[in-house]
Structure 1
């Protein structure tokens, strides 16, 4: 029994979401993947996956085994890579990234990154949904905010300010809020995927806001605020164009909260392959060149 092959079939099934997708990725038949995973479960005497016609779901035992198997496979790949081509990053790298951040600061640099590392393939998973690094096969996640999961490690690559803004047209009709508490009387455009929900954080207060428009996209917040729908809250770089050309106005500047970190997260007990290390180094340097990200401090 070749346990590395069995682990590989299992890990790719988890990461791709199906036996057939794993088979295509590995260049083998779907029945082979199914047999490999069945053999692995028989060897371990435990069920690793719940199968259904729609998707595969890890059992609790499968979650634990996947984390260990992924770490082992990464170590094997890194060991082989270091002998075959010591200076070259290789393989498929899966990176999760928030939508607005991806479009503003990651995607513009992807062509150059891939040109510099021709043996690396990039699966950039752009979503504001919280992607799991263990159960979804993601090696790196770019996330906004402070690290709260002790199973993860973080490299801080940037800092930015969250600001409150509105259009001149909106303020002319509704007035200018002077304190965070004044926002309770204003139409606020609520970003539904904000980790704090509809609570906006300031230096000296947390205010639960409301409004008739709720959206699940940062860009939609920006567009709605620019159109005069209401007051918005988000990273200053999101509103940079409107602030620069005068369509938008910064509000409550004396109440701004401390800067928020942008971090690259990875699983603490997993050996990072070189493709992940070069990605972190490249984009930390790219973020450092953006004034709105406060110099991209390493942490």
Structure 2
């Protein structure tokens, strides 16, 4: 049992980069964490972590041991669950996703998820910023775009399109752009966390737009475009209601870029718990029933740019 505790301390120290973070997580005190890892190193007769005042860095031997120890701990946890006859998904699941998607789509669906899986507890971390899943103890993150981190695995759960939108009042005052290049003459609301800065992708390439307002929140951008501040580039699922009501108009649909995947991502080095697998299945079902995430398009039944100009 001591060795399992030593392994757990070492694995979480590598993942968090901090003895104190592991101590808070396990409630055992920082000196005990350091002592347990030292005991493991003595048992294995090898240095696993280089310690300094600023950071913890696993040695090459430590990195190899971490990969196998992480898998072993996951297998032990699964074996204990199976031995107790806990066939139904259970336990705490930590999920990270963007605030808009989380509050508007995930949270309203939680009563249905809870009814289906009553023994699963959920902890959500909403934020637009990219986070390190392993270091922050997150089991699953819902992210748009192609997977670039080889330490993660991804399952596609939806397909997202982004469209240019503006309010009727803004277009009445400033005119309707007929080509992406005309956006350079408009006030565009910039999403500061978007890859490529102010570059909005279209079928024939990017247009580097500009504007007086810059935000790090897609929900904030939606609010701003509804206040007639300028033109926004948003996921279409965020503005379904406003497009259908006529509060916003879709622009430049014939120039739109290809849709991008929405993925559920998780660590490639960890066994995916059953509670995570069923959650991913549930969100995939939710996306399949959500306009703008289901692979369809919202543009044809909506007012086109040319119609808006009439």
User: With structure 2 as the length reference, what TM-score do the two structures score?
Assistant: 0.83
Specify whether residues 22 and 111 from structure 1 end up closer, same or farther in structure 2 by C-alpha distance, changes over 3 A only: farther
State which of 25, 45, 51 in structure 1 corresponds to 2:47: 45
How far off its partner does 1:72 sit?
A: 2.2
Aligned partners of 1:51 and 1:226: how far apart in 2? Answer: 49
Which residue in the other structure is 2:57 paired with?
A: 59
Specify whether residues 64 and 126 from structure 1 end up closer, same or farther in structure 2 by C-alpha distance, changes over 3 A only: farther
How far off its partner does 1:175 sit?
A: 1.1
Deviation by residue 1:180-223 (Cα, 9 ceiling, x = unmatched): 11111111100001123211011122111111110000011111
Which residue in the other structure is 1:135 paired with?
A: 135
Which residue in the other structure is 1:202 paired with?
A: 202
Which residue in the other structure is 2:247 paired with?
A: 247
Aligned partners of 1:11 and 1:48: how far apart in 2? Answer: 14
Greater CA deviation, 85-94 or 216-225?
A: 85-94
Instruction: Say whether the 8 Å CA contact 1:78–1:274 is kept in structure 2.
Output: no
What root-mean-square deviation, in Å, do the aligned CA atoms of Structure 1 and Structure 2 show?
A: 2.6
Number of residue equivalences: 292
Instruction: Say whether the 8 Å CA contact 1:153–1:265 is kept in structure 2.
Output: yes
Which residue in the other structure is 2:156 paired with?
A: 156
Which residue in the other structure is 2:301 paired with?
A: none
Instruction: Say whether the 8 Å CA contact 2:11–2:70 is kept in structure 1.
Output: yes
| Residue aligned with 2:182, SS | helix
Deviation by residue 1:36-70 (Cα, 9 ceiling, x = unmatched): 23333555413255556xxxx44154666545433
| Residue aligned with 1:293, SS | coil
How far off its partner does 1:86 sit?
A: 4.7
Aligned partners of 1:253 and 1:294: how far apart in 2? Answer: 18
Aligned partners of 2:41 and 2:234: how far apart in 1? Answer: 47
Specify whether residues 181 and 295 from structure 1 end up closer, same or farther in structure 2 by C-alpha distance, changes over 3 A only: closer
Specify whether residues 187 and 93 from structure 1 end up closer, same or farther in structure 2 by C-alpha distance, changes over 3 A only: same
How do 1:16-27 and structure 2 match up within 5 A?
Answer: 19=19, 22-23=22-23, 25-26=25-26
Task: Give ranges in structure 2 of 5+ residues lacking alignment.
Answer: 297-310
| Residue aligned with 1:85, SS | coil
Instruction: Say whether the 8 Å CA contact 2:154–2:266 is kept in structure 1.
Output: yes
Instruction: Say whether the 8 Å CA contact 2:145–2:262 is kept in structure 1.
Output: yes
Aligned partners of 2:214 and 2:277: how far apart in 1? Answer: 38
How far off its partner does 1:75 sit?
A: 1.5
How do 1:1-299 and structure 2 match up within 5 A?
Answer: 2-12=2-12, 19=19, 22-23=22-23, 25-26=25-26, 28-43=28-43, 44-47=46-49, 50=52, 57-61=55-59, 66-294=66-294
Aligned partners of 1:185 and 1:208: how far apart in 2? Answer: 11
Greater CA deviation, 1-10 or 206-215?
A: 1-10
Deviation by residue 1:112-141 (Cα, 9 ceiling, x = unmatched): 434433433322221111122333332211
| Residue aligned with 2:263, SS | strand
Aligned partners of 1:179 and 1:138: how far apart in 2? Answer: 42
Deviation by residue 1:239-260 (Cα, 9 ceiling, x = unmatched): 2232122121110011111222
Aligned partners of 2:51 and 2:122: how far apart in 1? Answer: 26
Instruction: Say whether the 8 Å CA contact 1:41–1:48 is kept in structure 2.
Output: no
